[in-house]
Amino acid sequence: MNQAHPTGDFDGLAALVTGGASGIGAAIAALLRDRGARVAVLDRDPAGAPAGTLPVKADVTSDEAIRNGVAEVVAEFGALHTVVGNAGIGAIGTVEDNSDEEWRRVLDVNVLGLVRTARAALPHLRAAAAERPGAVSITHTCSIAATAGLPQRAAYSASKGAVLALTLAMAADHVRDGIRVNCVNPGTVDTPWVGRLLGRAADPAAERAALEARQPTGRLVSADEVAAAVAYLAGPAAAAVTGTALAVDGGMQGLRLRPAT
Ligand SMILES: NC(=O)c1ccc[n+]([C@@H]2O[C@H](COP(=O)([O-])OP(=O)(O)OC[C@H]3O[C@@H](n4cnc5c(N)ncnc54)[C@H](O)[C@@H]3O)[C@@H](O)[C@H]2O)c1
């Protein structure tokens, strides 16, 4: 157990993290594990799932694969209390740049992927909520792209705006089932995803500096910092928190600084 959380606030809880084999999802899976949960990582490529978690290969674009994956997790753990819908993909461009096929792909993974995951998990979450009031939740990885206009991110932003609205609607639908639904809105996070973006830039160092400067803290967010926010929202300490979007963005959404002198 992680010494920072000696009480193991997730002791006895079973968690599932989609996209948990890389970046933010891997940090979430590792933190929930360290805080006492049994954790399954559902990923299209689960090779990077943190040690001590249950890797389950499934693509969130397949309803059948998700249903089978969730069934496998519940068979292994005997219950499901915590779902983190985190798998997501990016898209670069204005509305003039992306094909209908690319739009469908982004919405299929980023929005419908969460729908399929929740649909498969909800019967198990309802059953768990009856036994562990306040401890049962769904948390989505949304994005600052849901609440701020970012250039060259039309399809991605539309998908994350949908994630924010979906989170609120689901929170209303399931509050009386005892299931809390929230999301985190990260700014730019230092993950393999951003590494790939930087790798494609004409001047990666300049691109990284521009991304860092866009956040008032002057640096990228770490995956562990997003994981800490997810663990708060998913944990028993947040038993009164539902329908909330928690920004983890170095102040990017809320602050308006004067230029440095
Ligand atoms: N990195 C950022 O700056 C940032 C900022 C805000 C929000 N986010 C969101 O955080 C989430 C994770 O991003 P990341 O930066 O850790 O990315 P990442 O590319 O490092 O990890 C994404 C993981 O999701 C998995 N995945 C992708 N498509 C899948 C599918 N169809 N089915 C199953 N698994 C799939 C990948 O295999 C990978 O393990 C995404 O939803 C992303 O939109 C990222």
Tens of pLDDT, residue by residue over 18-54, are 999 999 999 999 999 999 999 999 999 999 999 999 9
Closest CA to 159 of 215, 87, 246, 249: 87
pLDDT tens, residue by residue, 175-223: 999 999 999 999 999 999 999 999 999 999 999 999 999 999 999 999 9
Contact in structure between 70 and 80 (CB atoms under 8 Å)? yes
Percent over 70 (pLDDT), the chain: 97
pLDDT of 188 reads 97
- CA 48 to ligand 1: nearest atom: 39
For residues 172 and 166, give the distance between their C-alpha atoms in angstroms, rounded to a whole number.
Answer: 10
Distance 130 CA to ligand 1 centre (A): 31
Distance 89 CA to ligand 1 centre (A): 6
**Does 186 contact ligand 1 (Cβ within 6 A)?**
yes
Reported in sequence order, the residue ranges of the chain that DSSP labels E, i.e. its strands, are 14-18, 38-43, 54-57, 82-85, 137-141, 180-186, 245-248
* Active-site residue list: 156
pLDDT tens, residue by residue, 132-184: 888 999 999 999 999 999 999 999 999 999 999 999 999 999 999 999 999 99
**Does 143 contact ligand 1 (Cβ within 6 A)?**
yes
Show the domains of the chain with their CATH numbers. Answer: 14-186+221-248 (3.40.50.720)
**Does 44 contact ligand 1 (Cβ within 6 A)?**
yes
Distance 43 CA to ligand 1 centre (A): 10
State pTM to two decimals: 0.97
Closest Cα to atom 44, ligand 1: which residue? 189
pLDDT tens, residue by residue, 67-121: 999 999 999 999 999 999 999 999 999 999 999 999 999 999 999 999 999 999 9
